[in-house]
Amino acid sequence: MRIVTIWYVALCFLFSLLPMALAGADELSPKIGLTLSGGGAKGAAHIGVLEVLEEYRIPIHAVTGTSMGAYVGGMVALGLSAEEIKRRTFEINWSDGYFDRQTRKELQLREKKRTDEFHFYTDIGLSLDGEVKPFPGLVLGQKMASILRKATGNPPNYDSFDQLAIPFRAVATDLETIEPVVLDKGNLVQAMQASMSVPGALRPVHKDGRLLVDGGIVNNMPVDQVKILGADVVIAVDLRDQMFNIEELHSAVTVVSQLTTHMTNKGTDEQIALLNLEKDIYIVPDVSFMVATDFDLMYQAYRSGRKAAIAVLPQLMRYQLNEKEYARYRVNKRNHRWNPSTYSFTNIIIINQTALSDNSLYQWLALQPNQEYSAEEIEQAIDRLYAKGIFEKITYELEKNGKQLSIIVVEKSWGPGYLNLKVSIERDNEDRPNYGVGAEYTLTNITNLGGEWKSKVLLGVQDMLMSELYLPLDYQQQYFSNVGASWQKVIRAFHNVDRFNLAPDEVKYKSWNIFTELGWNIHRDSSLAIGFDASYSDIQGELSSAPEQKVESFSGFGEFNYDSLDSFFFPNIGTLFDVQLGYRYSNSELDSGDISESVPYLDTQLVKPLSLDNHTLIAGLKASGSESNAFYPVAPQSLGGLFNLSGFTHFHFTGNYSAIGTLIYRYHLTDVDFKLFSAPLYLGGSAERGGVWLDEDDISWDSSITAGSLYIALDTLLGPVVLAYGKSEDDNGSLYFAFGSQ
C-alpha cells in the first residue's frame, strides 16, 4: 500500500512539472515569424536573407509582407526554397508587368497592321456623340497578374492562408479609407497583386467591394500581423528609402518622393517599435544605390540581402535547428507545398462582362472540360483572348479544389469606341519634309461576333480618308467580310521619266475608292482573301503643259498575307510575306482620247530577319506593277526614302513597275534605361538595289540603282527614332532624321 502511495505522489509530481517542461521546450524552439517590407526591385534583397536563413537552418513558421515583400513572402508561404524563389524571380522581366499590351507576335494579323501604322497606342475612349471617357489607370495589371500566376503556379483559392505550407498574410491599402487591409484568404495571386499595386502605376484591385492598392502607404513592414500569427520571435527585413538632403530637393519629383518616403518610413518606425530587440532581429540591407524601379539592379540587391543577414548571424544562430530537426521541418513544409503539374477541369465557367456572346469567348479560348492542360497552356489561352485588344482585364481562378476553372472577362470600361494616333517625320538635308499625322477611330463589338467599324484620317505627304466595316462570320472569327470606301491625295515625282519631254514633273493623284472582300483567317499570323474594288482617279501634273487624266478602274483580286515578325520596325525573328494578284480593267480619259485596258497586276513583299546574339541581318524584297499605256500610270509604283533607295526623298521615282532588294544590318549596341522601361539602341547600315520603270521591257539590272545608308536608331515606346545618312551610286546623298511609321 505504501508503495502505491509513493508511486501516486511521484506521478503527481511529474505531471506538475510537465507544463514547465513544455514551456521550456517552447523556449528552446520558439515560433519564428518573418516580415518583409515593400521596396519594388529592392525586394530581391529578401531572397538573399532567405538564402542565409536556409543555409544556417533557421526555420520560418509564419510570414507576412507588403508590396514586393508580399510577393516574396507568398512564395515562401507556398513552401518554395530560397533557390527556387531566386530562380523564378530572376527569370521574370518585371518591367513587362507595367505594360499591358501584348507583344506583336501575340497579336492577330489585323491588329498587327493597325498597331504598325498607329504606333501611338493612346487608346482614348471616345463615344459617337463625342464624349471622352476616362482611362482607368496607366497600367491595368493584366501582365502583372500573368507574371504572378506563372511565378506561383497559380494555386487554387484558400479558405485561409493558414492552409499554405507556411501561414501567410499580405497587407494592402483601402483606397477609399486609407486604412490597412489584411489579406488572409482567397486567391494568393490577387492578394500579392493588391499589396503591390502602386497607385498611379498599377490599377487598384477590386476585392470584396474595396479598391485595394499598395500596402506600403499604411504598413510597409507588418510586424503586427506576424505577431498576430503567433510569432515568438520576429525577423524583420526593412528596405526603407533614404530621405533626400537639401541639395537634392531641386525638382517636383524629389519633393513628392520626399513626402512619400517620410510617410512610409513613419509607418515602418511604428512597426519597429513593436519589436523586442533582445530577441527579435531587425535586418536593414543596404539598397541605397537603387530605387524601386531599378529592376536591372536586382542581383545587387540580392547580394546586399545576403550581406545584411550574415552581419546579424550571431543573433540568428540562437534559433538554429540541428540537422535532424531542420530536415523534419523541411519535410513538413514540402508535404504542404503547392505542386502544380497539369489541370483537368470538370467545369469551365466564363463570367462574361462584355457585349460578345459566350460562344465567341469559349471558341477563342479553345479550352475543353475533362482535358489536361498545363499552367502555361492556360496562360496562353488567356493571352490569346486578351490579344484581341478589346478587354480591360481577364482573370481566372481555380475553384472546387481545382476542378472548376472560372474565367472573368471584362470589356474595356472606356469603350467600345477608341481613338489612336500617329505622327511621322522624315527630313533630309535638302529640307524636303515627309511628314504625316493621323487618327484612327474604331468602334468595336458592333455585333455579338465581334464586328467593328474603323475610320481613319491621314494628313501630310499623303492625305487620306477611309472607313470600313469588318464583320466576322463565325464565333471563332475565322471567316470575315470587309467593305469600305476611301479618298486619298498624294503628290508623286517622275524624276526617272523622260518621255514627257518636261522638266522632272510632280503629279497630283486624287482618287476615290470602294472595296469589298471575303476572307479566311487561317491562323493568328496569316489570312487569305478575295475581293473587288472600284475607283475613280483625277491625275494632274503640276506644270501647265502637263495633261489631265481621269481614270475609272475595276479590279478583282486574291491576296495572301503572312506576318510572324516580332517587330515591324526592328525585327529579330519571324517572316513577313504579302502577295496580291489581280486583274484590272481601266478607262483613262485624256484630251487626246480614251485608253481602255485590261491587265493583270502583282504586288508582293518579303521580309526575313536572321539574328545571332546582338547581330541582325534583314533581307527584304518588294516587287509591284502592271502594264499601262495611259499617259500617267493608272496604278503608280514609287520608290525613294530611307531604306527604299536611300539618298532620295519619298515618291522620287514613279512608274508602272517597281522592284527593290535590301539588306539591312543592325547591331544592338546597348539599352537606354528609362527606369520603368528601356529602349534598345542600334547601329547599322543598309545596301539597296532597285528601280522604277514605265514599260516592262525597260526592267533590267543595269537600269536599276544602287544605294545604301548608315544609321543609328532608338526603338522607343512612341516609335522608332532614326538618324541616318543615305547615298546612291549617282552621288545623290541625304542626311535623314526619321521618327514614327512612314
Domain closes at, from 336, 369, 398? 336
Does position 660 have pLDDT exceeding 50, yes or no?
A: yes
Domain containing residue 378: CATH number: 3.10.20.310
Residue-wise pLDDT tens digits, 520-565: 999 999 999 999 999 999 998 876 567 789 999 999 999 999 999 9
357-365's contacts with Cβ under 8 Å and 24+ in sequence apart are 357/448, 357/449, 357/475, 359/475, 360/448, 360/449, 360/450, 360/475, 360/476, 360/477, 361/385, 361/407, 361/409, 362/475, 363/475, 363/476, 364/388, 364/476, 364/477, 365/407
CB 540 within 8 Å of CB 548:
yes
CB 513 within 8 Å of CB 535:
yes
Do 421 and 400 lie in one domain? The reply is: no
* Backbone region of residue 399 per phi and psi (left: phi > 0; alpha: psi in -120 to 50; beta: other values): beta
Do 307 and 384 lie in one domain? The reply is: no
Tell me the residue length of the chain: 742
DSSP 677-723: -EEEEEEEEEEEEEEEESSGGG--STTSEEEEEEEEEEEETTEEEEE
Per-residue pLDDT at 248: 67
Tell me whether strands 347-353 and 404-411 are parallel, antiparallel or unpaired.
Answer: parallel
Instruction: From 82, 62, 75, 265, select the one nearest 169 (Cα to Cα).
Output: 62
Residue-wise pLDDT tens digits, 370-381: 888 888 888 889
Do 592 and 633 lie in one domain? The reply is: yes
Instruction: From 98, 85, 188, 195, select the one nearest 137 (Cα to Cα).
Output: 98
Residue 198 lies in a domain: yes
Read off the pLDDT band of 569 (50, 70, 90): very high
Do 203 and 326 lie in one domain? The reply is: yes
Do 706 and 579 lie in one domain? The reply is: yes
CB 259 within 8 Å of CB 241:
no
Active site residue 214: yes
CB 289 within 8 Å of CB 35:
no
Domain containing residue 615: CATH number: 2.40.160.50
Task: Write phi, then psi, for 437 (nearest 5 degrees).
Answer: -130, 150
Domain of residue 396: give its range: 343-411
Q: How many domains does the chain have?
A: 3
Do 489 and 522 lie in one domain? The reply is: yes
Task: Specify the pTM.
Answer: 0.83
Residue 644 lies in a domain: yes
Q: In angstroms, rounded to a whole number, what is the distance separating the alpha carbons of residues 62 and 59?
A: 9
Residue 184 lies in a domain: yes
CB 692 within 8 Å of CB 639:
yes
Question: Any idea which of 173-187, 242-256, 370-384 has the lowest mean pLDDT?
Answer: 242-256
Q: Which residue among the candidates 184, 214, 224, 563 is catalytic per the annotation? A: 214
Residue 276 in 3-state DSSP?
coil
HEC profile of 167-225? CEEEEEEECCCCEEEEECCECHHHHHHHHCCCCCCCCCEEECCEEEEEHHHCCCCCHHH
Residue-wise pLDDT tens digits, 687-717: 999 999 988 888 999 899 999 999 999 998 8
Q: In angstroms, rounded to a whole number, what is the distance separating the alpha carbons of residues 654 and 699?
A: 14
Residue-wise pLDDT tens digits, 606-635: 999 999 999 999 999 999 999 988 888 889
Do 393 and 444 lie in one domain? The reply is: no
**Helix %, strand %, coil % for the chain, to 5?**
25, 40, 35
Instruction: From 408, 346, 362, select the one nearest 187 (Cα to Cα).
Output: 408
Residue-wise pLDDT tens digits, 389-406: 889 899 888 876 668 889
Read off the pLDDT band of 140 (50, 70, 90): confident
Task: Write phi, then psi, for 83 (nearest 5 degrees).
Answer: -65, -40
Domain closes at, from 289, 309, 336? 336
CB 719 within 8 Å of CB 700:
no
Does position 24 have pLDDT exceeding 90, yes or no?
A: no
The partner residues of 281 in beta bridges, in order of sequence, read: 235
Residue 270 lies in a domain: yes
Which DSSP category does 244 fall into? Answer: P
Residue 292 lies in a domain: yes
Q: In angstroms, rounded to a whole number, what is the distance separating the alpha carbons of residues 115 and 741?
A: 10
Listed in sequence order, the residues at least 6 apart from 282 whose beta carbon sits closer than 8 Å to its beta carbon are: 236, 238, 272, 275
Which element (helix H / strand E) includes 236? strand 233-237
Q: How far is CA 300 from the centre of its chain?
A: 26
Do 68 and 38 lie in one domain? The reply is: yes
Do 508 and 592 lie in one domain? The reply is: yes
Residue 20 lies in a domain: no
Residue 140 lies in a domain: no
Per-residue pLDDT at 587: 93
Do 351 and 324 lie in one domain? The reply is: no
The partner residues of 480 in beta bridges, in order of sequence, read: 472, 519
Q: Which residue among the candidates 37, 67, 195, 646 is catalytic per the annotation? A: 67
Residue-wise pLDDT tens digits, 577-606: 999 999 999 999 987 788 999 999 999 999
Residue-wise pLDDT tens digits, 436-473: 889 999 999 999 999 999 999 999 888 999 999 999 99
Which element (helix H / strand E) includes 654? strand 653-655
Domain containing residue 46: CATH number: 3.40.1090.10
Residue 129 lies in a domain: no
Which DSSP category does 474 fall into? Answer: S
DSSP 345-365: -SEEEEEEESSS-HHHHHHHH
Listed in sequence order, the residues at least 6 apart from 32 whose beta carbon sits closer than 8 Å to its beta carbon are: 58, 59, 60, 61, 62, 231, 232, 233, 234, 235, 319
Do 635 and 681 lie in one domain? The reply is: yes
Residue-wise pLDDT tens digits, 181-234: 999 999 999 999 999 998 877 888 988 889 999 998 899 999 999 999 999 999
What percent of the chain has a predicted confidence (pLDDT) above 90? Answer: 56
Do 402 and 434 lie in one domain? The reply is: no
Q: In angstroms, rounded to a whole number, what is the distance separating the alpha carbons of residues 585 and 573?
A: 39
The partner residues of 491 in beta bridges, in order of sequence, read: 508
Residue 599 grid cell:
491587265
Per-residue pLDDT at 266: 83
Domain closes at, from 384, 411, 438? 411
